[in-house]
Structure 1
Amino acid sequence: MTSQIKKICCIGAGYVGGPTMAVLADRCKDIKVTLVDIDKKRINAWNDKDLSKLPVFEPGLKEIIKRNRNKNLFFSTDIANTIKEADMIFISVNTPTKTSGFGAGYASDLKWVESSARQVAEYSSGHTIVVEKSTVPVRTAELIQNILSESEENSFISNIKKSFSVLSSPEFLAEGTAINDLENPDRVLIGGEDNNAMRSLSGIYERWIPANKILFTNVWSSELSKLTANAFLAQRLSSINAISALCEATGAEIKEVSNAIGADKRIGKKFLDAGPGFGGSCFQKDILNLVYLCQYYGLEKISRYWEHVLIVNNWQKERIASLVVEKLFGTVTNKKIAMFGFAFKANTNDTRESPSISIAKDLLENGANLMINDPQVLPYQIEKELCKKESKIFSEKEGSWSFNSNLNECVKDADALIILTAWDEYKEINFEKFSKLMRKPSWVFDTRKIISKNSLKGTGIKFWQVGMGECSSL
């Protein structure tokens, strides 16, 4: 018999939990959905009357928040009571790559998953369905189950009845299109052993998702499917970026190559856009996780195969920074360079693992003065990324950076402009105007292939584009 779900708790109010629970509440008006987080500042931002201050930027998200918040969608720091009242709990916390200890640099740090499981074990009552939503290594559900099993046994001793069903239902969201991905998913995975619990979760999804798109697996297949999906997508991006360099060397054009191979139904058109390298919270972390798992199970050659996807990605970022220095007469010391875009992709304010970070650091190390612009990323986020403890220790030639929301001010007296994020406002730049503001000779480096070379005609600006290289004089 399936459980009737009336109250849902989501632990973790970040990039996954926020949009996922917002859409669920929007589609299931009879279910009370509460997101909890230990970060009071984040919860306050979700509750702020000014919807422009939401901690997550996603097209369509603020409209959903507006019509559901404080009706059946709530944001709270009261973790204990929310867990106690919940029939179903989603664990949607961060699982960053470990920076120290065994597996450092590869394995996921599961301290927040473990902490969440212990909170569920302590505060829950009755039967609770626990859904693993975070991206996690294979067999993480076993960790959760072991913690909850101890609580089950203790409940019999203390005469406080508790029981649990653990499911895996990973997210397959692309930042920038998360709301559409949630409302019209390609598929939804539910992994588990308890058929009743699986049907209870499926019954919620089926409120708006066709039943034939909901796939049932065991827990381990569900967890590994998430890692594998991200690894395959990242692999495609590294592959097309590798070919972009070959195009620049041979005179081929990457867009023409992408169109030709994408027309093959066996390959398809998606994820064939060359760029400065992939970023985001998942691709690098999940591949590192996959590498670690392969090493753990003695699959050394397989681990090296996946590791090379990351090697190519890092090489692409280094290649672009090096190319900028080379084109500017071999030095960027004290030269002003405008950087347009700091988010790892358009339509998100997420900067995690953004290629802009390592490119900026390389240019700063070479003495450049960066003027950074992004329509959704705030200066404190940039400072956080560029001043992390693990960042490089710069030499005496270390450059400087600042943020400016005015595009004209960014390029004034600049030697070069680098486009790193494909925001729409960057596609309509008036280069005739920019040419009068920039220092001569001036360069535009388009790492996202969003600028038409015709838009630079007659400006005298030198132009380089990923997958095409340096254009002839315009």
Structure 2
Amino acid sequence: MEIRNICCIGAGYVGGPTMAVIANYCPNIQVNVVDINPERIDQWNDDDFSKLPIFEPGLAEIVKKCRGVNLHFSNEMENQIKKADMIFISVNTPTKVKGIGAGQAIDLKYVEASSREIAKYSEGFTIVVEKSTLPVKTAQTIKDILDAESKSKEKFTEKNFAVLSNPEFLAEGTAINDLNNPDRILIGGDNKEAIDSLVRIYTNWVDKSKVLTTDLWSSELSKLIANAFLAQRISSINTISALCEATGANIKDVALAVGMDKRIGKYFLNSGPGFGGSCFKKDISNLVYISNHYGLSEVAEYWQKVLDINLWQQKRFVELIVKQMFGTISSKKIAILGFAFKSNTNDTRESPAIYICRKLIEEGAILNIYDPKVSQNQINKDLKGCKEDLNVPNNNKKWTFSNSLYETFNDTDAAIFMTEWEEFQNLDWSTISPKMRKPAWIFDTRSIIKKNVIKKYGINIWQVGSGS
């Protein structure tokens, strides 16, 4: 089957970049990205490419090249589903906030809604591809919805739909490179024709040796487990950072030595304030829920501990900051450098900065927050409820948004580096030092600041995993 028209439901962090790269490498395929959010679609269609809803290095250039040629963004759900030979489901899959499985199970309401739209409007034989991160056996839900719809219309048969699992393995901040040069492409399914059609799309730029085909359930579970293993490494190295601080060792040296073991490798051994983003916490919570569902309580407890350690690291940082600043930060001004959960992205979902900022505000601190890509509006949403307090000065604001990196340090008692943005790593400390109130503190949760440099200016510094 030759694919001429692709529809992607969901214009978010997965759908937008993935479809842009497919359009770039497959000029003979019309790629239509649809979303129910008109504001988001307007951002994708903005003539100012710096205003795309998602920041990823290299993304704007591809969108500029392909948009209006074979890459399109719209709210025309019905029309684009009708035309599509292949439909990707790339919608949000949040953790349930209430009901059975609240806090652990994934809410599939958007997946189900998308499946019903596909069942209602698709025509002829349609390949449906799961792209969202989903719990194992979700494909069966999609199949049941599609089959029920096809059986309700005599002119259709069950063979009108083929469901594939094609999980994404993207790291935010390097998503375009991950798409251009993937470690592997995983496709799960039981319809060979549909699988071959998707394989042919990817082999326009990916070597076929990197394309792995499996059954549906193995594909779905592989994504969940990959994220769990990566998150596990972060929690593991963060426990060792505390041990380094207590013993006088240095976490960078330990991570380097351990990472040189080829059985372990160097990746995801950078200690910090804990993992964030849309996947790790959500996927491990779902793994805990699934394990409990199947009566595997010991397995559930094991993975729950990975989440517990992640939160413990953030709590530990807050306690340490308060302790170093003479036991109180009430009415003290603190600069927050970085609000995204990692560098090279504007995504703040589950960012450690949210928890740490909230706790600092609870302690009475006044925050100056700067991030090169995260907007004031987004920070306001994440810190909702923390804005006003009659008991603090500075026009009753608990935090302010800074447009200037260096002005963020004005009249501050301390600065906390939360995100490892490159521009934070070579600052002019001769300019910063006079702006800070002495004794001043730097809390480096990413180990990106050169300690020997800022000590010359009489500024105290603490770095994660450093015993000195």
Post-superposition Cα deviations, 1:426-454, rounded to whole Å, max 9, x if no partner, equal 00111222111100100001101111112
Q: Is residue 235 of structure 2 the alignment partner of residue 238 of structure 1?
A: yes
Distance 2:387 2:38 in 1: 31
Question: Is the Cα–Cα contact under 8 Å of residues 125 and 161 in structure 1 kept in the other structure?
Answer: no
Per the TM alignment, residue 159 of structure 1 is displaced from its structure 2 partner at its CA by 6.4
Q: Is residue 338 of structure 2 the alignment partner of residue 341 of structure 1?
A: yes
Per the TM alignment, residue 143 of structure 1 is displaced from its structure 2 partner at its CA by 0.5
Distance 2:46 2:443 in 1: 39
Alignment of 1:327-338 (within 5 A): 327-338=324-335
Question: Is the Cα–Cα contact under 8 Å of residues 15 and 56 in structure 1 kept in the other structure?
Answer: yes
Q: Which residue identity does 1:227 align to in structure 2?
A: L
Secondary structure at the aligned position of 1:429 is classed as coil
Per the TM alignment, residue 309 of structure 1 is displaced from its structure 2 partner at its CA by 0.3
Q: Is residue 96 of structure 2 the alignment partner of residue 87 of structure 1?
A: no
Alignment of 1:49-448 (within 5 A): 49-156=47-154, 163-387=160-384, 400-448=398-446
Per the TM alignment, residue 406 of structure 1 is displaced from its structure 2 partner at its CA by 1.1
Per the TM alignment, residue 155 of structure 1 is displaced from its structure 2 partner at its CA by 2.4
- The residue aligned with 1:457 is 455
- The residue aligned with 2:17 is 19
Post-superposition Cα deviations, 1:180-212, rounded to whole Å, max 9, x if no partner, equal 100100001000010110011001011100111
Question: Is the Cα–Cα contact under 8 Å of residues 387 and 399 in structure 2 kept in the other structure?
Answer: no
Distance 1:27 1:102 in 2: 43
Distance 1:451 1:131 in 2: 44
Distance 2:204 2:197 in 1: 12
Post-superposition Cα deviations, 1:252-281, rounded to whole Å, max 9, x if no partner, equal 100000011001000000000000111000
Distance 1:280 1:338 in 2: 22
Report the more deviating stretch, 393-402 or 370-379: 393-402
Question: Is the Cα–Cα contact under 8 Å of residues 365 and 395 in structure 1 kept in the other structure?
Answer: no
Q: Which residue identity does 1:305 align to in structure 2?
A: Y
Give unmatched runs, 5+ long, in structure 2.
Answer: none
Normalising to structure 1: TM-score of the pair?
0.96
Question: Is the Cα–Cα contact under 8 Å of residues 290 and 306 in structure 1 kept in the other structure?
Answer: yes
Secondary structure at the aligned position of 1:352 is classed as coil
Per the TM alignment, residue 142 of structure 1 is displaced from its structure 2 partner at its CA by 0.5
Per the TM alignment, residue 160 of structure 1 is displaced from its structure 2 partner at its CA by 9.2
Secondary structure at the aligned position of 1:454 is classed as helix
Per the TM alignment, residue 101 of structure 1 is displaced from its structure 2 partner at its CA by 0.6
Q: Which residue identity does 1:20 align to in structure 2?
A: T
Secondary structure at the aligned position of 1:338 is classed as strand
Q: 1:460 to 1:42 in 2, by over 3 A?
A: same
Q: 1:330 to 1:160 in 2, by over 3 A?
A: same
Per the TM alignment, residue 151 of structure 1 is displaced from its structure 2 partner at its CA by 1.4
Secondary structure at the aligned position of 2:153 is classed as helix
Secondary structure at the aligned position of 1:115 is classed as helix
Post-superposition Cα deviations, 1:21-40, rounded to whole Å, max 9, x if no partner, equal 00000000000000000000
Per the TM alignment, residue 161 of structure 1 is displaced from its structure 2 partner at its CA by 9.4
Cα RMSD for the two superposed structures: 1.7
Distance 2:465 2:351 in 1: 20
Question: Is the Cα–Cα contact under 8 Å of residues 354 and 382 in structure 2 kept in the other structure?
Answer: yes
Q: Which residue identity does 1:318 align to in structure 2?
A: K
Per the TM alignment, residue 372 of structure 1 is displaced from its structure 2 partner at its CA by 0.1
Question: Is the Cα–Cα contact under 8 Å of residues 131 and 166 in structure 1 kept in the other structure?
Answer: yes
Q: 1:392 to 1:231 in 2, by over 3 A?
A: farther
Distance 1:204 1:146 in 2: 27
Distance 2:215 2:176 in 1: 27
Moved beyond 4 Å, runs of 4+: 158-162, 391-399
Distance 1:339 1:424 in 2: 15
Normalising to structure 2: TM-score of the pair?
0.97
Distance 1:185 1:159 in 2: 37
Distance 1:358 1:395 in 2: 22
Distance 2:115 2:196 in 1: 22
Question: Is the Cα–Cα contact under 8 Å of residues 388 and 398 in structure 2 kept in the other structure?
Answer: no
Question: Is the Cα–Cα contact under 8 Å of residues 151 and 162 in structure 1 kept in the other structure?
Answer: no
Per the TM alignment, residue 405 of structure 1 is displaced from its structure 2 partner at its CA by 1.5
Post-superposition Cα deviations, 1:345-393, rounded to whole Å, max 9, x if no partner, equal 00000000000000000000101000000000000110111117xx999
Count of paired positions? 465
Give unmatched runs, 5+ long, in structure 1.
Answer: none
Question: Is the Cα–Cα contact under 8 Å of residues 418 and 446 in structure 2 kept in the other structure?
Answer: yes
Post-superposition Cα deviations, 1:71-128, rounded to whole Å, max 9, x if no partner, equal 0000010000000000000000000000001000000000000000000000000000
Question: Is the Cα–Cα contact under 8 Å of residues 175 and 347 in structure 1 kept in the other structure?
Answer: yes
Per the TM alignment, residue 224 of structure 1 is displaced from its structure 2 partner at its CA by 0.4
